[in-house]
Amino acid sequence: MLFAFDTSEYKHKRIYKPATSMIQELNYLTPREIVAALDKYIIGQQSAKRNVAIALRNRWRRMQVKSDLKADITPNNILMIGATGVGKTEIARRLAKIADAPFVKVEASSFTEVGYVGRDVEGMVRDLVEQAITMVKSAREEEVKEKAIQQVEEIIVDAVIPRTNRPSSEMSSESSLLELDENEFDISEQTREKFRKKIRNGELDERKIEIHLNPPGSMGISMIGGGMMDESMLNNLQDMLSNMIPKKSKTRKVTIAEAKQLLLPEEISKLIDMDAVKEEALEKAKYNGIIFIDEIDKIAGSSHKGSGPDVSREGVQRDLLPIVEGSNVNTKYGVVNTDHILFIAAGAFHISKPSDLIPELQGRFPIRVELNSLTKEDFYRILQEPKNALTKQYMALFEAENVKLTFEEGAIEEIADKAFTINEQVENIGARRLHTVMSHLLNDFLFDVPDKIGPHQEVKVTKELVNQRLADIVKRKELNEYIL
């Protein structure tokens, strides 16, 4: 028997724990285990993996410190130096997934897109909080989803056979109940349970009922705030006006199948205490957050002093400094202190060098890691070993059409060789070149499935096929079509 779920316990009891408590309770992975987890997706770059693993483990170690030093222990931010496509972003992104941490990637060059006036650097912290809100809310939605489904079933049952106190002599059969849902009658719980099962099994999905839906709470006020206030003030004003305007429910006549889809999000939201979600998300962002600042070399000034673009670049560095140093940032959900957010910066540093950054910012990235350029052997391993290797991805795509894709050993070696050669001849874009080569190799087959290559057939990639399809792009020097 199903019962209505009392949402009051979510409103009056603390069922969420702060992120700091969760860090203490988690059995955190050791640095070796973190590196092993990263090895499943990233080939090579052991030095970078070791350093990010230590940084992640240090967060747990800090929470175990009993003395007053605990507040003074801050993350050792990391500067990754390496060409594009060698795994800098992937290492940071996978690290965040291992830690179940909110993660934001920003391009340092975006802060100078409009002359000397770029994007507000505090925006990356606000984005981090939004990501934390999404993560915590998604977790809570999964926890209450089963209860919400039960609530939806109750609403639909009430719409089909309303509860009333007036007895009726017209309750002779379930079929008659479906015809008399506009009338008033008294229904036993046993009969209601039968209808719940029918609704759950989809037997009544095509039947139409009337339901009441609440409109979304947000409203757009960009014309009022645009250009006159910062992002945080605009969001707060939007929320305030949204809460002031009364919400009117809307009645719709839909099928039961549609009602299930429309009512579920509403019922889930009723079971979630958003104040507790915001509180936990703020803690998660403060103590678990990872911000990846890419292309930091593009805001490094040249070695000589002067005016022009260098002035803008240095200005962006000085704007970034207090955020990386540790400061309070106002967000629509509250104030976030950035002292314990882990910052990972990355850049190729082909033209500039790390010493071209202002000394204060250099000091905030004490751990420097140089990532190696990928070799032909690395390409070969990347095509096979990671859990999400490109060959496995393409096999899955063909399998979706019941077509089997296989690679001969010599074929994979040849693909790696061709990708490495193209990088040398044109521009080194690292592992991203493999995407270009694989699509050029297999797109014709993907186009022919399922029209010419039907189910239960096999596509075999041989060394000869690779040479035949990729020989022309290796010979050509102008490969603009294949440069990402």
Q: Determine what percent of the chain falls in helix, strand and coil, rounding each to the nearest 5.
A: 55, 10, 35
Q: Cis omega (within 30 of 0) on the bond before 309?
A: no
Spatial contact of 109 and 316, defined as CB atoms under 8 Å apart: no
What pLDDT is stored for residue 460 in this prediction?
A: 94
- Alpha-carbon distance of 144 to 138, in angstroms, equals 10
For the stretch 251-265, pLDDT in tens is 888 888 888 888 898
Answer yes or no: is pLDDT of 237 > 80: no
Name the 3-class secondary structure at 253.
Answer: strand
Using CA atoms, how far apart are residues 236 and 225, in angstroms rounded to an integer? 11
- Angstrom distance (rounded) from CA 261 to CA 127: 29
Distance of CA 116 to the CA centre of its chain: 31
Confidence band, pLDDT 50/70/90 cuts, at residue 51 = very high
Which among 60-74, 379-393, 425-439 has the top mean pLDDT?
379-393
Tens digit of each residue's pLDDT (9 = 90 or more) over 149-196: 988 888 888 888 766 544 444 444 455 455 544 444 445 677 888 888
Are β-strands 208-213 and 250-255 bridged in parallel, bridged antiparallel, or unpaired?
antiparallel
* Confidence tier at 217 by pLDDT (50, 70, 90): low
Q: What is the pLDDT of residue 239?
A: 61
Per DSSP, the chain holds a count of helices (H) and strands (E) of: 19, 11
- Please answer whether residues 413 and 454 qualify as being in contact, where contact means their C-beta atoms are separated by less than 8 angstroms: no
Percent of the chain with pLDDT over 70: 76
Structure-token match 């409103």, residue found: 11
Q: Poorest-confidence range of 124-128, 311-315, 429-433?
A: 311-315
- For residue 218, pLDDT beyond 60: no
Using the predicted structure, report yes or no on whether residue 34 has a pLDDT greater than 90: yes
Report how far residue 479's alpha carbon sits from residue 460's, in angstroms, rounded to the nearest whole number: 27
| Residues 100-146: tens digit of each pLDDT | 999 999 998 887 644 444 467 888 999 999 999 999 999 999 999 99
Nearest to 107 by CA among 320, 282, 280: 320
**CA distances (Å), 205 to each of 201, 208, 261, in order?**
9, 8, 11
CA dist 481 and 473 (Å) reads 10
* Residue 302 backbone phi and psi in degrees, to 5: -70, 165
User: According to the model, what pLDDT value does residue 256 have?
Assistant: 86
Where do the domains of the chain lie, and which CATH numbers do they carry? 8-132+278-370 (3.40.50.300), 162-270 (no CATH), 376-472 (1.10.8.60)
Residue 316: partners with Cβ closer than 8 Å, 6 or more residues away = 108, 111, 112, 118, 121, 299
**What is the token pair recorded at 348?**
């190729």
**Distances in Å between the alpha carbon of 129 and those of 164, 234, 269, 287, 335?**
47, 16, 19, 11, 10
**Statement: residue 401 has pLDDT above 90:** yes
Q: Is the sign of the CA dihedral 269, 271, 275, 278 positive or negative?
A: negative
Length of the chain, please? 484
Task: Return the axis-axis angle of helices 88-99 and 46-64, rounded to nearest 10°.
Answer: 30
d(Cα 28, Cα 38) in Å, to the nearest integer?
Answer: 15
Confidence tier at 464 by pLDDT (50, 70, 90):
very high
- pLDDT surpassing 70 at residue 477: no
| Percent residues over pLDDT 90 in the chain | 42
- Compute the distance between CA of residue 37 and CA of residue 152 in angstroms, rounded to an integer: 40
Give the bridge partners for 78, in sequence order.
344, 367
Maximum C-alpha span of the chain = 95
Mean of all residue pLDDT scores within the chain? 80
**Cross-strand bridge partners of residue 209:** 254
Q: Residue 467 pLDDT more than 50?
A: yes
Average confidence (pLDDT) over 457-477: 83
User: What is the reported pLDDT for 12?
Assistant: 34
pTM over 0.75: yes
pLDDT the model gives residue 443: 92
The predicted-structure confidence for 402-416, as pLDDT tens digits, reads as follows: 999 999 889 999 999
Please report which residue ranges of 207-363 form alpha helices under DSSP H: 222-225, 231-244, 256-270, 274-288, 309-325, 359-363
CA gap 461, 440 in Å, rounded: 13
**pLDDT value at position 17?**
44
